[in-house]
Structure formats: structure tokens, C-alpha cells
Amino acid sequence: MTERKKRVGILISGRGSNMESLIAATRRSDYPAEIACVISNRPEARGLSTAAAQGIATQAIDHKRFQTREAFESELDAALRAHGVEIVACAGFMRMMTSSFVDQWRDRMLNIHPSLLPAYKGLHTHARALADGVKLAGCTVHVVRPELDQGPIIAQAAVPVLDGDSEETLGARVLQAEHSLYPHALSLFASGDAIVSGERVLLKKEPVNQTIPLYWPPLSQL
């Protein structure tokens, strides 16, 4: 018997490029999740029209209409539940959530962040990485907790920082990695192959090459 796909609600605030990568992944017959809805706190978000054009239910809940954060989140929560959402995927959703909302969706809400957490939480991640002279940057998919960019890590991808990189060039390289990492992480999570245990995520199946280190610059060039 084919297992039922988990219903995912995607939250966006802008163009939704990570949203598009998730939608594309869920088109595969063997993918363990389907997109139930796309919701934005900004009615002008370009990602809404992109999702609607692919036949996905969309909704704009303008946070500016609400006097309190709690009132906004109450309507957001109601919308997610009305669509039968089981997993929330934040994809460029530029709103800090209250502890109450996070607790309602505890261990069922994911986020992607453009750094190798716990390094460079918050904004301007690429500028800060360049200023520090790190050789590897990257992105992280994690389970959401009330604290900013914190929570059990599901998956990470590393990219090299090249000499002469700008925020834009490094950001483009990281974004490309995000578009592969998020569908991968959501698949692990929706299928149950990645399980939250306290403040860690455990993998049911250990990758064969998980002990192989990544070197940058490559050892062959040293």
C-alpha cells in the first residue's frame, strides 16, 4: 500500500525561490509530501502568483492588518489547519514568531537559513562570513524553535568561499545549494527518516560516506 503523503504548508514573504524547489520536488510520485497551500504575510509577494499558476492554494494574510503579533498568528494558524497542514515549511518567511505559535507547531515546522548554523544567525550572513575570512559557507535546514535561527538541525550543505567573492556571488552559490538541500531535508522529515529527539535530529539510515571529510581548498591543491 502506498503511504499517504504529508501535507505541507509553505510560508513565504517574497519571490519564493525555495518554495519553487519544494513544489518541483513534490511533483515526483515517490516524494513523501505534497504542498497543501502557500501563505504569505505580504499580499504583493511574487511567490503567491507563482504557486497559484501551478494549481496550489494560496492565501495572503497581511500582518499589517493586525494590531498584535498574536492576532496575526491566530489567523495564520487557522489557515494552516483549514488546509490540513501537517508540516510547516518556512521559505523566506520574514516574521519572527511568538513562542506560543512555535509551541503549537513544535517539531512540525522547518526553516532554511543561509549559513552553517549555529554560525551567523540573523541577517547579513554572507557579509559576515566574508569579513571573517571563512573558507566554507553554506545553508542549514532546521526545526524551528522560539529563538532566532535555532533548533534541531536536519541537514546542511557547505559551499566554498572563493577569493574575490562578493556578497552577491557567495549568496548565489549558497542559494543554489539551498534549492537542493530543502527538498532533501523535507523528504527526510516527512518520510520519518529524520526524527526529532530532544534538541537533535537523528537519521534512521546512516549515509555510507558520512565519515568522508570535505576539504577546501582541496587536498590535491595543497
Residues labelled as active-site residues: 113
Residues 6+ apart with CB under 8 A from 14: 42, 45, 46, 47, 92, 94
Contact 191, 32 (CB under 8 A): yes
Asked whether the bond before 32 is cis by omega within 30 degrees of 0, the reply is no
What is the H or E stretch that residue 113 is in?
A: strand 109-113
What is the H or E stretch that residue 178 is in?
A: helix 167-191
Dist CA 156 CA 75 (whole Å): 32
